[in-house]
A and B are shown apart, each in its own frame.
Chain A
C-alpha cells in the first residue's frame, strides 16, 4: 500500500483529506507539529507528500527545497494561494504537481494516481488479459481467442483502462467522467452511457459475458469475466 504524508495545518482539511485518501486505498500519515517538517518527512519515508504552502514555522516551498536536497519522493503542492509566483517557484524547486484549493477531490485522487502511474512507467502495461481476451493498450485494440481484433475508440479505451486499473472494485461515473475530461474528452452524461454500452457490446463480441457490471447508484465494476 502506498504511503502518503499529509502536511496541512488546517485541521478540518487534514482530517477529511486523510479519510479521502484512506478510502482510495492509500495509507496516510499526518503531521501535527510543523517544526522540523522536512526532517520528519525524510524520517517517515513516504511514497508521496501532499504539502501545503502556508505553514507555521517554515513555508512549504522552503520545506520542498530542503527535501529535494536528499530525496526525489513525489511532492504535490496543495495551497489556497493562486499566485503564479508560488506555482513557478514550487515547480522550480521540483514539485511534481501544483493544486489550488478549493480543489475537486476526485481530481486530486486522479492526479495522485497519475504520478504513481508515471513513476511506475517502466512497468506500465502494454497488454493485459481479461478472461480469454487480450487488451492492447497501446494500439487500442482487443482481440479474442481466435486472434480477431476489434478497434476501440479513444473514449472506449480510456474507460476500459480506467476500469482495468481498478479491477474488481467499484468505479463511480464521477471518476470515469473526471478521467475522460482530464484527457480532454468532454463527454456528457448520455455519451458516457452510450460509450459504456458500446464497450460492453465489443467485449461481448470478443466472447466476454458481462465483464462490466452496473452497481446501481455506485458505478461500474470490471471483473475478469467468465
Chain B
C-alpha cells in the first residue's frame, strides 16, 4: 500500500472533493462575495480536505502495512492476527473480525483431523500389540509341530518350515507399519543413548537369522567392536533390519550372496555400511530410492516391493539426525551408508557431573 495506490483507490472521493471546491468557488463568484473571503474559504476547504485524506491514509496504512509484512515474515501465516491489534476504523474492524472467524474455523477443522489422526495411530499401535499375540502363538505352534514331526522324520516338516517363514514375513510387515506410524508422528518418541553397535547388530542378526540362512546369505560382520553410537537402539535396529532384508530381497539368483556390515570412524563421524553383492540399483533410480512409494525397475521386476521400506528408513534417519545415502553398481553391488555424528552433549554432561 503506497500513496499512489491509495489515491487510485480513492479517486471518486478525491473527485467529489475537487467538485465540491469548484462548486463553492462558482457559488461564491455568482453571489459576488468579496474575493479575499472567497480565497480564505477555498483555502480552508482545501486544507481540511487534504488533512482528512492524509489522516485517513495514515490510519489505514498503519494497519494494512503491518498486516502485510507480518504475514510475509511469519513462518505460520495463519498466526498473523495474534500479532495485531483490532483496528479503529470500520473496514479494518470488519476485515479483522472476518479473518478471526475464518482462522477459528480453520483451526477447528485442522484439530478435528489431528485428533482423528492421533486416534488412528493409537489404534494402530494397539492393533500391532494385539496381532503379535496370535502370531506368537502360531510361531510357537509351528515350532512344536516341527519338533514333534522331526522325531518321526515326517515329510510335513518342509510345509511347516514354509509356514514359519511366511509367519516371519507377516511379522516384518507388522513391524514396518509400527515404524511407519512412529516415523510420521510429530511427537518425539525416540530416545537417544550411547549404544554399542555390536549389540544392535547382534539383535538384528538374531531376529533375522532364519531368513538370512534360508536365503543362503553369508552374513559378514566386520570392525564393529567398541563402536559406540549416539542413537535410538530400537530405531537403529529396525533401520539395519530393513537394509538387510532389502539386500536379501534383491540378491542375485545365482552364485554366493553375502551381506557385509562394517563400521568406520573418522573424527566425529561414524559410518555404518550395509553392503551386498546383489543385483544393484540402476543409476536412474538411485536418487529416488528413498522416496515414498517409489518402486524402481528392481521393485517392478521383483513384484513384491511396496516402496515404503527405504522411505521409512530415511524418515527415521532424518529424525535421529543421521545421514543416509546409497552407492551402487548396477548388476554388481549396493552399499547403504549411515553417518552417525558423535554427540558432544554426552561428553559435556559427563564432565559437568564430575
Does A178 lie within 8 Å of B209, measured CB to CB?
Answer: yes
Q: Is B59 an interface residue (CB 8 A)?
A: no
Q: Is A218 an interface residue (CB 8 A)?
A: yes
Does A177 lie within 8 Å of B209, measured CB to CB?
Answer: yes
Q: Is B216 an interface residue (CB 8 A)?
A: yes
Does A186 lie within 8 Å of B133, measured CB to CB?
Answer: no
Q: Is A71 an interface residue (CB 8 A)?
A: no
Report Cα–Cα, A102/B143, bound state, in Å.
13
- The chain B residue with its CB closest to the CB of A188 is B218
Q: Is B157 an interface residue (CB 8 A)?
A: yes
Contact of B206 among A81, A181, A188, A217 (CB under 8 A): A181
Q: Is A23 an interface residue (CB 8 A)?
A: yes
Return chain A residues, CB-CB under 8 Å to B141. 12, 16
Interface residues of B in 175-205 (CB under 8 A from A): 191, 198, 202, 205
Report Cα–Cα, A51/B136, bound state, in Å.
15
Return chain B residues, CB-CB under 8 Å to A218. 150-151, 153
Contact of B217 among A10, A101, A188 (CB under 8 A): A188
Interface residues of A in 178-195 (CB under 8 A from B): 178, 181-182, 184, 186, 188-189
Does A13 lie within 8 Å of B136, measured CB to CB?
Answer: yes
Pick the interface stretch among A103-111, A112-120, A157-165, A205-213.
A103-111
Return chain A residues, CB-CB under 8 Å to B153. 216-218
Return chain B residues, CB-CB under 8 Å to A10. 133, 136-137
Does B143 lie within 8 Å of A217, measured CB to CB?
Answer: no
Does B234 lie within 8 Å of A84, measured CB to CB?
Answer: yes
Does B144 lie within 8 Å of A16, measured CB to CB?
Answer: yes
Contact of B132 among A20, A23, A84, A102 (CB under 8 A): A102
Q: Is A17 an interface residue (CB 8 A)?
A: yes
Report Cα–Cα, A105/B216, bound state, in Å.
22
Report Cα–Cα, A106/B153, bound state, in Å.
20
Q: Is A33 an interface residue (CB 8 A)?
A: no
Report Cα–Cα, A165/B52, bound state, in Å.
103
**A35 → B minimal CB distance (Å):** 21
Q: Is A62 an interface residue (CB 8 A)?
A: no
Does A16 lie within 8 Å of B137, measured CB to CB?
Answer: yes
If A17-B140, A105-B140, A177-B213 touch, whether A186 touches B219 (CB-CB below 8 Å) is yes
Total A residues in contact with B, Cβ cutoff 8 Å: 32
Return chain B residues, CB-CB under 8 Å to A16. 137, 140-141, 143-144
If A12-B133, A19-B144 touch, whether A217 touches B219 (CB-CB below 8 Å) is no
Report Cα–Cα, A217/B151, bound state, in Å.
9
Contact mask B154-181 → A, CB, 8 Å, 1/0?
A: 0001000000000100010000000000
Report Cα–Cα, A102/B130, bound state, in Å.
11
- The chain B residue with its CB closest to the CB of A13 is B137
Return chain A residues, CB-CB under 8 Å to B213. 177, 188-189
- The chain B residue with its CB closest to the CB of A87 is B234
Does A184 lie within 8 Å of B136, measured CB to CB?
Answer: no
Interface residues of B in 117-164 (CB under 8 A from A): 129, 132-137, 139-141, 143-144, 147-148, 150-151, 153, 157
- The chain B residue with its CB closest to the CB of A82 is B234
- The chain B residue with its CB closest to the CB of A109 is B143
Contact of B136 among A82, A102, A182, A217 (CB under 8 A): A102
Return chain B residues, CB-CB under 8 Å to A84. 191, 233-234
Does A101 lie within 8 Å of B132, measured CB to CB?
Answer: yes
Report Cα–Cα, A20/B142, bound state, in Å.
10
Report Cα–Cα, A52/B292, bound state, in Å.
37
- The chain B residue with its CB closest to the CB of A105 is B143
Contact of B133 among A20, A101, A107, A178 (CB under 8 A): A101
Return chain B residues, CB-CB under 8 Å to A101. 132-133, 135-136
Q: Which residues of A contact B (CB under 8 A)?
A: 10, 12-13, 16-17, 19-20, 23, 54, 80-82, 84, 101-107, 172, 177-178, 181-182, 184, 186, 188-189, 216-218
> Known contacts A80-B136, A102-B132; can you find 20 more A-B pairs with CB under 8 A?
A10-B137, A12-B141, A13-B137, A13-B140, A16-B137, A16-B140, A16-B143, A16-B144, A19-B144, A20-B144, A81-B129, A104-B210, A105-B140, A181-B209, A184-B221, A186-B220, A188-B217, A189-B216, A218-B150, A218-B151
- By Cβ-Cβ distance, the 5 closest A-B pairs, closest first, are A12-B137, A16-B140, A105-B143, A80-B132, A102-B136
